[in-house]
Amino acid sequence: MHVLRPLLVVIALVAIVLAIRIFAVPVGFGVYDGGYIYGWYDQSSEEAAKSVEVKYQGREYCQGCHTEQSSKVSSSLHANIQCENCHGPAIKHPSEPPKLTIDTSRDLCLRCHADLPASLSGRSAIKGIDPDNHNPGVNCASCHNPHSPAPGAAK
Amino acid sequence: MVHGELWTLKELFVYPNEYIYWAIQIVMYPFMTGLVAGAFVLSSLYHVFGIKQLKDLAQFALVFSFALLGAAPMPLLFHLQQPERGFNVFLTPHFTSAIAAFGVVFFSYSALVASELWLLYRRHLVEMALKLRHRASKNVSDVFGMVLYNVLTLGSYDIDEEALHKDERAIKVLAAAGIPLALFLHGYAGFIFGSVKANALWMTPLMPVIFICSAIVSGIALCMLTYIVMMEFRKFMASRRRDTLLYRQTHPTVSRAEIGGVEIHVIRMTAKYLLFFLIIAISLEVLDLIFRGYTAVKSWDVLREVIYGKDFASIFILQYGLGNLVPFVLLVIPRLTVRRAILGTALILFGVFMMRWNVVIGGQAFSLSFAGFMHYDLPIIPVDIDTYREGLFGALTILAMPFALFAIFAKIFPVATPELGLSSRASDDRTIPSSVYQRS
Amino acid sequence: MITRREFLKTSLAGAAGAAISLAAIEMVDPGKVLAAAVQPEKNARWAFLIDSTKCVGCGLCVKACKLENGLPFEANISPTWVERYILTNGGELFADSPKAGRDGYTSKRVDLGMGKYQVVDKSDTKKAFFVPKLCNHCENPPCVQVCPVGATYRTPDGVVLVDKSWCIGCGYCIMACPYGARFIDPRTRTAGKCTFCYHRITKGLKTACVQACPFGARQFGNLNDPNDPVAKTIMTQRVVVLKDEYGTKPQAYYLGLSKEVR
């Protein structure tokens, strides 16, 4: 039957795609926990997601060496602020990077201490200033010690 | 700059990660697949339902449908951030995604149209293959043609009466099977949008049906338009050539009819089918609109602002007015002329394009927060690869592609030569009023 | 062919381990600290708890998220973000999230987009609050359902991830997410999103945003652990989820949400 010849071409093409699949599909591909709808994937990509480098190490990591500063902060009003929020991610410090950049900008403090309408937020419980009128242009750290901010007073 | 940021303007409250991620190429994509489906349905009207008047247009539509098929996946490739991984859709298809279905549906549909084309033009392919093979002195293009035609015969050189009869029956079967497949091809393009529950404008079960109807409308319109333009151009060229003395000496037997232009009754007949599908498409779209307004669910406030406010001009003036109402009037007035048909079909194509635009871009004109808007700013001047492929020129490239492909296919498959297709007319001079082809 | 990931054999005392004061260690070897922290939960089902009333809009979580995950800091996308809502006395609602809240909220100017701003004074506000957001890691993630190539998935412990080496960048997942949690990652030109810091939680650490939050507005826990305080809160308190109507079963639970939240 000559009319079936196009069908042979189609079958050949399908066979080629199936053959390519054998080589080109990663071995980890399969149906996992989520079933075909939510769990059709290459399992090795889970490992890729896990292998991302941890950069924020947490205050316990800092405490080991910077004992003095950390104990100072931990007894202050800023006790709940992680070191790395102001000092940047530790990554592998002190080996890499050997020095962390300290953010002493006004903008960092204003994240919490700019007075805003925030009636239903914890923000209203934090002492706030009007950044345009409260010593504009001056770094907060020149008057206030971020490691031991005295309640309601400059240092 | 992140993807989408370049052409998105945000107004009021829009989530930070929201941009118009589906831009001009995703407008082109359903537009092109719609043309494919429509062209195929038009060709099937003759092959399956035996509407004899459409014979010429049917063969033309089938070849054109194949050319459009070649261009249909291109918008997706232009759109993908990783186009070289596009083949992954075939490697690890995830069929719960409407886009994964594309791989299978598109492939089966291409195979079907190619098979039908092969059967339809098999006689021509075999004749050409044999002719070139037996030509005494072959130049390079002859050798190329010989190889091409011999490969295209797929090794079958049987063109006696019985074999050709079998071909005809097979064509009928394929054309019949092709209709649901064509509708499926475009229905699922509608499904891609209609099934996105996160998008208030897209999510409606009517979407696939609306897409199918407007697809058929656009496909028929494009076939009519291209057919008219092509035939008129041929007539123009032929009558110019005929005026030369040399041509008259070398072609003494060419009858007047063979270089005649468009047969107006074919156009009038096709226009009726066009109007029929246009009415269904518009009815469904209006039904959808009324329903949304009446039920007025949570998203309606923002949708109303988009539909009756921000996008009013492009929906009601460009799409419904200029793209639907005006051509409807043009085509429905009795004694349709060629000029009116050209204008009408061109406007219909524009209207369907605007419909795709208003769905794709309009669906991203408001934020998922329902409290903000996004405006699309189409990149015009291509300054880099992204502004080209996701910009005006990328879209124009896609638009030009089916015509380029058609020009190539028309060289292999004689679309409108006296031997095939348009031959029915050549024998009957009287059907053509002399004014059609006589040059004054 | 269901094959389960092999979990390290660790005791359930994992959570307790984190509480050990490392201050006693004289010189800290980062490797040792990490090794000490490696105690992933068995058969975990991760969930997020957000106490919206505690959020002060400092945006330290967004900053930490972007830096931890190595996203270009200036790129205008973010796996997590903080929204501000202000309802005026006149009943008008203003909301914004400039730069995803990365730099915190330091001004009374609300960003209206298109270069327009609206200053709302304290005296003119009826309600004002902040809402942190991130990927909800839905139990029925619509973004995963629509991925044509299986490049995004839900892990056995309930985290929705993207396979950056297989994603074709079609953007369908971005369209399918009702929460606007996804974006195109400018580094890889593939879909990007919050991973619940999968590289951290599988090592027994908290996510970067939870760790960075000074106010406990963001918490993270394991629903399968009956002793997990976060799981307890989710089980026993009045929690809600965002956009419940989509049937996505989000795993980010909220306390103190308001009807104005979109």
Specify whether the backbone of B154 is left (phi greater than 0), alpha (psi in -120 to 50) or beta.
Answer: left
Contact of A28 with chain B, judged by CB distance below 8 Å, is answered with no
Q: B16, C181: Cβ pair inside 8 Å? A: no
Contact of C259 with chain A, judged by CB distance below 8 Å, is answered with no
Domains and their CATH numbers in chain B: 22-116+156-437 (1.20.1630.10)
Rounded CA-CA distance B311/B305 in Å is 8
Asked if residue C189 lies in contact with residue C163, where contact means CB atoms within 8 angstroms, the answer is no
Binned at pLDDT 50, 70 and 90, residue A119 comes out as: confident
Rounded CA-CA distance B2/C137 in Å is 23
Higher pLDDT pick, B106 / C162 = C162
Answer yes or no: is pLDDT of B218 > 60.
Answer: yes
Residue B50 confidence (pLDDT): 81
Answer yes or no: is pLDDT of B357 > 60.
Answer: yes
Cα–Cα distance list, C55 to A1, B349, B400 (Å)? 75, 53, 54
Q: C169, B80: Cβ pair inside 8 Å? A: yes
What does the pLDDT look like over B39-96, one tens digit per residue? 888 888 888 888 877 887 888 889 999 999 999 999 999 999 999 999 999 999 999 9
DSSP class of residue C24?
G
Asked if residue B93 lies in contact with residue B103, where contact means CB atoms within 8 angstroms, the answer is yes
Residue A80 confidence (pLDDT): 94
Rounded CA-CA distance C257/C237 in Å is 13
DSSP per-residue letters across B382-402? --SHHHHHTSHHHHHHHHHHH
Residue C23 confidence (pLDDT): 39
What does the pLDDT look like over C12-52, one tens digit per residue? 333 334 434 443 344 445 445 444 444 455 689 999 999 99
> Which whole number is the average pLDDT over B117-143?
90
Interface confidence, given as ipTM, is 0.91
Domain limits of chain C?
Answer: 55-134, 142-192
Answer yes or no: is pLDDT of C178 > 80.
Answer: yes
Give chain A's radius of gyration (CA, Å): 29
What does the pLDDT look like over B415-438, one tens digit per residue? 754 333 333 333 333 333 433 333
Rounded CA-CA distance C81/C62 in Å is 6
Cα four-point dihedral sign A28, A31, A33, A36: positive
Strands, sheet with C252-255, edge to edge from the N-terminal-most edge strand: C218-222, C46-51, C252-255
Asked if residue B124 lies in contact with residue B421, where contact means CB atoms within 8 angstroms, the answer is no
Chains that touch A (3 or more CB pairs under 8 A): B, C
- Tokens 């700019």: give the residue: A114
Contact of A123 with chain C, judged by CB distance below 8 Å, is answered with yes
Q: What is the DSSP pairing of strand C252-255 with strand C46-51? A: parallel
- The beta strand positions in A2-155, using DSSP E, are 29-31, 40-42
Higher pLDDT pick, A102 / C208 = C208
Q: C176, B197: Cβ pair inside 8 Å? A: yes
C142-192 maps to CATH 3.30.70.20: yes
Asked if residue A81 lies in contact with residue A73, where contact means CB atoms within 8 angstroms, the answer is yes
Answer yes or no: is pLDDT of B171 > 80.
Answer: yes
What does the pLDDT look like over A4-63, one tens digit per residue? 999 999 999 999 999 999 999 999 999 999 999 999 999 999 999 999 999 999 999 999
> Which whole number is the average pLDDT over C243-248?
96
Residue B229 confidence (pLDDT): 87
Contact of C106 with chain A, judged by CB distance below 8 Å, is answered with yes
Contact of C260 with chain A, judged by CB distance below 8 Å, is answered with no
Residue in chain B closest to C96 (alpha carbons) equals B13
What does the pLDDT look like over B222-255, one tens digit per residue? 989 988 988 888 788 877 777 776 666 666 655 5
Q: Which residues are CB-neighbours of B377 under 8 A, at least 6 positions away?
A: B7, B8, B9
Answer yes or no: is pLDDT of A138 > 50.
Answer: yes
- Of C66, C135, C155, the closest CA to residue C103 belongs to C66
For chain B, the residues whose C-beta falls within 8 A of a C-beta of chain A are: 87, 90-92, 94-96, 107, 111, 114-115, 118-119, 154-156, 158, 163, 166-167, 170
Cis omega before residue B334 (within 30°)? no
